[in-house]
Structure 1
Amino acid sequence: MTEFGYFLSCEEFGPADLVEQARMAEDAGFRSLWISDHYHPWNDAQGHSPFVWSVIGALSQSCGLPVETAVTCPTTRIHPAVIAQAAATSQVMLDGRFRLGLGSGEALNEHVLGDAWPSADVRLAMLEEAVDVIRKLFTGEQITHRGPYYTVENARIYTLPETPPPLDVSAFGPRAAELAARIADGFVTTAPDADMVARFRAGGPPRPAFAATKVCWAESREEAVRTAHRLWPSEHLPGELNQILPTPRHFEQASELVTEETVGAAVACGPDPEEHARHLKEYVDAGFDRIHIGQIGPEQRGFFDFYRKDVLPLLDGTDGGDRP
Structure 2
Amino acid sequence: MTRFGYTLMTEQSGPKDLVRYSVAAERHGFDFVASSDHYFPWLDVQGHAPYAWTLLGAVAQATERVELMTYVTCPTLRYHPAVVAQKAATLGVLSDGRFLLNVGAGENLNEHVVGQRWPAVGERQDMLEEAVEIIAALLTGDRVNYRGEFFRVDSAKLWDVPDERVQIGVAVSGPDSVTRFASLVDHLVAVEPDADAIRGWDAARDSGLAPSRKIGQIPICWDPDRKNAISRAHEQFRWFAGGWKVNADLPTTEAIDAASHFVLPQQVAARIPCGPDLDAIVEAVSAYWEAGFTDIALVQVGDAGQDGFLSTAAGPLLDRLRDAAPSD
- What is the TM-score normalised by the length of structure 2? 0.94
TM-fit CA distance, 1:257: 2.5
Point out where structure 1 has 5 or more consecutive residues left out of the alignment: none
Is 1:270 matched up with 2:275?
yes
Give the stretch that moved more between structures: 135-144 or 90-99. Answer: 135-144
TM-fit CA distance, 1:286: 1.1
The answer (yes or no) to whether the contact 1:83–1:134 under 8 Å persists in 2 is yes
**Which of 310, 318, 323 is the aligned partner of 1:312?**
318
Q: Which residue of 2 aligns with 1:280?
A: 285
RMSD of aligned Cα (Å): 1.5
The answer (yes or no) to whether the contact 1:74–1:103 under 8 Å persists in 2 is yes
Among the aligned pairs, what percent are the same residue? Answer: 38
Q: Which residue of 2 aligns with 1:188?
A: 189
Distance in 2 between the 1:167 and 1:288 partners?
A: 16
Tell me: CA distance 1:307–1:190, structure 2 relative to 1, closer, same or farther (3 Å). Answer: farther
TM-fit CA distance, 1:59: 0.5
Give the stretch that moved more between structures: 65-74 or 181-190. Answer: 181-190
Task: Specify the code of the residue in structure 1 equivalent to 2:265.
Answer: E
Q: Which residue of 1 aligns with 2:137?
A: 136
What are the superposed Cα offsets for residues 163-188 of structure 1, whole Å, 9 maximum, x if unpaired? 22111000122222222313120011
Give the stretch that moved more between structures: 144-153 or 79-88. Answer: 144-153
Distance in 2 between the 1:10 and 1:290 partners?
A: 20
Equivalent pairs, count: 321
Tell me: CA distance 1:238–1:314, structure 2 relative to 1, closer, same or farther (3 Å). Answer: closer
TM-fit CA distance, 1:320: 4.9
Q: Which residue of 1 aligns with 2:6?
A: 6
Say which SS state the counterpart of residue 294 (structure 1) adopts. strand
Say which SS state the counterpart of residue 7 (structure 2) adopts. strand
Q: Which residue of 2 aligns with 1:179?
A: 180
Distance in 2 between the 1:314 and 1:141 partners?
A: 45
Tell me: CA distance 1:180–1:257, structure 2 relative to 1, closer, same or farther (3 Å). Answer: farther
What are the superposed Cα offsets for residues 52-99 of structure 1, whole Å, 9 maximum, x if unpaired? 110011001101211000000000111000000000000000111100
- What is the TM-score normalised by the length of structure 1? 0.96
Tell me: CA distance 1:101–1:108, structure 2 relative to 1, closer, same or farther (3 Å). Answer: same
Say which SS state the counterpart of residue 248 (structure 2) adopts. helix
Q: Which residue of 2 aligns with 1:125?
A: 126
**Which of 286, 305, 322 is the aligned partner of 1:299?**
305
The answer (yes or no) to whether the contact 2:146–2:154 under 8 Å persists in 1 is yes
The answer (yes or no) to whether the contact 1:227–1:296 under 8 Å persists in 2 is yes
Q: Which residue of 2 aligns with 1:50?
A: 50
Distance in 1 between the 2:249 and 2:16 partners?
A: 31
Say which SS state the counterpart of residue 45 (structure 1) adopts. helix
Q: Which residue of 1 aligns with 2:38?
A: 38
TM-fit CA distance, 1:240: 2.1
Q: Which residue of 1 aligns with 2:28?
A: 28
Q: Which residue of 2 aligns with 1:224?
A: 229
The answer (yes or no) to whether the contact 2:222–2:305 under 8 Å persists in 1 is yes
Say which SS state the counterpart of residue 202 (structure 1) adopts. helix
TM-fit CA distance, 1:3: 1.4
Tell me: CA distance 1:313–1:138, structure 2 relative to 1, closer, same or farther (3 Å). Answer: closer
The answer (yes or no) to whether the contact 2:109–2:253 under 8 Å persists in 1 is yes
**Which of 237, 242, 258 is the aligned partner of 2:247?**
242
Tell me: CA distance 1:308–1:51, structure 2 relative to 1, closer, same or farther (3 Å). Answer: closer
Is 1:90 matched up with 2:96?
no
